[in-house]
């Protein structure tokens, strides 16, 4: 039995915001910062806690330091979240990571005081709520003695029957055990049309992925030349590290 | 007066003379005003409200089940539909303000990932219960809320113990659009015990802290 439909009123919710969710540290640059962003007009307390890494990831909690654990951000202001790597002298070459979860502390409204004289007999009702606390993870990598990881781009795969995508470029890691953090951009070279651009973050446990080309309002341009450009850093600047074109 | 003081006085006098002899003049220059707009990576989630229900004092083992799901109004607006099953005798929804059931919803924006990248969704609880963080289902039990914490109802005098349980359903992934944004819904199911005493009435909430995490790493 379905109850009469109930209008879905616009719900307020709890928010958490960061300037970014990814930090890459290297031997030459062993500290980094992101901002805890308070978009509200009231002070907000941020709480940061360490998250577990998976079995296929290399735990760096012994050498990556971070702060703060709790912080109160004034209204419409940011607070820095700082990380730094403190590698011991005998640290083996490799890539290490930590992952922390950032939560905006829920500030419950004070209960409305009741005048006993006005208290009515409570109705025999049951109210049930499941509070949801949004959390944003921040992944911090420290690369010790390794070259910047890169991916290989494979030829374009066209998907004319796919409603969402006109095609995709498969990418495969050159160093399977390390993460990849870089910039990908797909353009149609004859017209200079930008098809897609953004950061590509492949975790240590992920070997390959696809850079998709959303269909949007267009189909494949006849005789078009589609190119995937990849930078091994974010944001990508200068000439791409590699480029693969169709046709 | 010492030499240094004489020098200072002389310098001041010379400067004063120059100041007095300089004609008033105007000068213009440009002032650069800069502002940087950077999108923040933001996640907003609302709670899952099963609503306020009138239930009779009863005994037995026949539970009442309430399932929240998405629906569409006649005007094409998204709405919450609550399906009742099991023991439906004398069960009614209090549609007064604050009593309406609502599925949860999450909205994110500001991801740097390329369009059509999958945003991964994880959920966990600190309370008792089963968490299948990659299987899109979380189950747990309900405990007494604080007085007035939700919809103005007081905490029950006696809660259900492990008797009232909930489950949540949500997608494992959701696509990121060309603006780095996206959204998804959190639906739920609730089981209310077959035996209810008057002291069980009141406000309940999920045990522990339920955190929902999104990550655009592949």
ipTM of the complex: 0.88
Q: Give Rg (Cα) of chain A.
A: 24
Q: Which residues of B touch A18 (CB under 8 A)?
A: 40-42
Q: How many whole angstroms separate alpha carbon B19 and alpha carbon A129?
A: 76
pLDDT band at A247 (very low <50, low <70, confident <90, very high): confident
Check CB contact of A21 with chain B, cutoff 8 Å: yes
Token pair of B37 as six digits: 């707009």
Residues A31-74 have pLDDT tens digits of 999 999 998 888 899 999 999 888 889 999 999 999 999 999 98
Q: Which residues of A touch B56 (CB under 8 A)?
A: 124
Residues A122-163 have pLDDT tens digits of 445 888 999 999 999 999 999 999 999 999 999 999 998 888
**Residue corresponding to tokens 């890691």:** A173
Q: How many whole angstroms separate alpha carbon B103 and alpha carbon B82?
A: 9
Q: Which residues of A touch B85 (CB under 8 A)?
A: 1
Q: Which of A62, A56, A64 is nearest to A179 (CA)?
A: A56
**Choice between A25 and A120, residue whose per-residue pLDDT is larger:** A25
Of B97-101, B107-111, B168-172, give the lowest mean pLDDT range: B97-101
Cβ atoms within 10 A of the Cβ of A194, count?
Answer: 10
Q: Which of B188, B184, B138 is nearest to B43 (CA)?
A: B184
Q: What is the number of residues in chain A? A: 247
Q: Which residues of A touch B78 (CB under 8 A)?
A: 8
Q: How many whole angstroms separate alpha carbon B180 and alpha carbon B213?
A: 16
Residues B38-55 have pLDDT tens digits of 789 999 999 999 999 999
Say if the Cβ atoms of A108 and B149 lie within 8 Å.
Answer: yes
pLDDT of B135 above 50: no
Say if the Cβ atoms of A130 and B180 lie within 8 Å.
Answer: no
What is the average per-residue pLDDT within B78-106? 87
CA distance A17 to chain B (A): 4
pLDDT of B13 above 60: no
User: CB–CB of B170/B184 below 8 Å?
Assistant: yes
Mean pLDDT, chain B, whole residue set:
83
Q: How many whole angstroms separate alpha carbon B51 and alpha carbon B160?
A: 17
Ramachandran category for residue A207: left, alpha or beta (phi over 0 → left; psi -120 to 50 → alpha): alpha
pLDDT band at B132 (very low <50, low <70, confident <90, very high): low
pLDDT of B70 above 60: yes
Q: Which residues of A touch B210 (CB under 8 A)?
A: 130-133
Q: How many whole angstroms separate alpha carbon B101 and alpha carbon A40?
A: 26
User: CB–CB of A138/A34 below 8 Å?
Assistant: yes
Of B33-47, B104-118, B200-214, give the lowest mean pLDDT range: B33-47
Where would I find the beta strands (DSSP E) of B35-86? 41-45, 48-54, 64-72, 78-86
What is the average per-residue pLDDT within B3-15? 50
Say if the Cβ atoms of B45 and A203 lie within 8 Å.
Answer: no
Say if the Cβ atoms of B43 and A17 lie within 8 Å.
Answer: yes
Check CB contact of A53 with chain B, cutoff 8 Å: no
Q: Which residues of A touch B215 (CB under 8 A)?
A: 21, 137, 139
Say if the Cβ atoms of A134 and B112 lie within 8 Å.
Answer: no
Q: Which of B83, B82, B118, B139 is nearest to A198 (CA)?
A: B118
**Residue corresponding to tokens 């062993």:** A30
Nearest CA in chain B to A36: B40
Q: How many whole angstroms separate alpha carbon A160 and alpha carbon A165?
A: 8
Q: How many whole angstroms separate alpha carbon B183 and alpha carbon A13?
A: 13
Say if the Cβ atoms of A5 and B71 lie within 8 Å.
Answer: yes
> Which residue out of A132, A186, A213 would a mutagenesis test of the B interface target, given it has the greatest number of B Cβ atoms within 10 Å?
A132
Say if the Cβ atoms of B47 and A212 lie within 8 Å.
Answer: no
Q: Which residues of B touch A184 (CB under 8 A)?
A: 114
Angle at A8 between CA A2 and CA A11, to 5 degrees: 135
Burial (CB < 10 A; 0-12, 13-18, 19+), residue A21, is: buried
User: CB–CB of A220/A165 below 8 Å?
Assistant: no
Residue A159 phi/psi, 5-degree rounding, is -130, 75
Size of interface A-B (CB pairs under 8 A): 246
Nearest CA in chain B to A4: B81
Q: Are strands A133-144 and B210-215 parallel, antiparallel or unpaired?
A: parallel
Q: Which of A187, A8, A13 is nearest to B46 (CA)?
A: A13
Which pLDDT score is estimated for B150?
A: 67
A126, A199, A202 member nearest B201 (Cβ): A126
What is the average per-residue pLDDT within A22-28? 96
Q: How many whole angstroms separate alpha carbon A122 and alpha carbon A36?
A: 43
CA distance A67 to chain B (A): 19
């Amino acid at each position: 039995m379905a109850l009469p439909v109930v209008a879905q009123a616009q719900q307020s919710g709890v928010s958490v915001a960061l300037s970014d969710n990814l930090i890459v540290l290297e031997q030459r640059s062993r500290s980094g910062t992101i901002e805890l962003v308070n978009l509200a007009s009231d002070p907000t307390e941020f709480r940061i806690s360490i998250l577990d890494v998976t079995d296929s990831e290399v735990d760096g909690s012994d050498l990556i330091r971070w702060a703060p654990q709790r912080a109160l951000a004034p209204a419409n202001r940011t607070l820095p979240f700082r990380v730094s790597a403190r590698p011991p002298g005998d640290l083996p070459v490799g890539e290490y990571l930590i992952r922390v979860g950032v939560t905006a502390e829920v500030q419950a409204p004070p209960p409305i005081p009741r005048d006993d004289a006005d208290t009515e007999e409570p109705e025999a009702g049951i109210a049930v709520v499941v509070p949801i606390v949004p959390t944003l993870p921040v992944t911090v990598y420290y690369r010790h003695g390794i070259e910047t990881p890169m991916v290989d781009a494979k030829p374009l795969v066209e998907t004319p029957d796919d409603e969402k995508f006109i095609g995709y470029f498969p990418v495969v890691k050159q160093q399977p055990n390390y993460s990849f953090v870089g910039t990908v951009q797909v353009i149609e070279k004859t017209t200079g049309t930008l098809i897609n651009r953004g950061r590509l973050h492949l975790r240590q446990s992920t070997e390959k992925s696809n850079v998709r080309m959303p269909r949007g309002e267009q189909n494949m341009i006849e005789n078009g030349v589609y190119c995937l450009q990849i930078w091994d850093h974010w944001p990508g600047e200068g000439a791409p590290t590699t480029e693969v074109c169709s046709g | 007066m010492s030499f240094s003081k004489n020098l200072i006085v002389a310098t001041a006098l010379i400067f004063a003379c120059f100041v007095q002899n300089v004609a008033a003049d105007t000068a213009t220059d440009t002032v650069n005003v800069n502002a940087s707009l950077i999108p923040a990576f933001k996640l907003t989630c609302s709670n899952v409200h099963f609503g306020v229900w009138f239930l009779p004092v009863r005994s037995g083992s026949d539970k009442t089940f309430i399932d929240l799901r998405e629906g569409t109004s006649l005007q094409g607006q998204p709405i919450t539909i609550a399906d009742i099953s099991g023991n439906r005798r004398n069960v009614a929804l209090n549609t007064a303000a604050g009593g309406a059931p609502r599925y949860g919803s999450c909205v994110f924006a500001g991801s740097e990932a390329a369009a059509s990248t999958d945003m991964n969704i994880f959920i966990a609880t600190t309370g008792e219960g089963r968490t299948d963080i990659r299987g899109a289902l979380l189950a747990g039990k309900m405990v007494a809320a604080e007085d007035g914490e939700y919809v103005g109802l007081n905490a029950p005098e006696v809660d259900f113990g492990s008797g009232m349980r909930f489950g949540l359903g949500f997608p494992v992934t959701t696509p990121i659009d060309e603006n780095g944004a996206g959204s998804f819904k959190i639906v739920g199911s609730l089981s209310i015990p077959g035996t209810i005493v008057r002291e069980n009435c009141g406000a309940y909430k999920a045990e522990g802290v339920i955190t929902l995490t999104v990550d655009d790493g592949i």
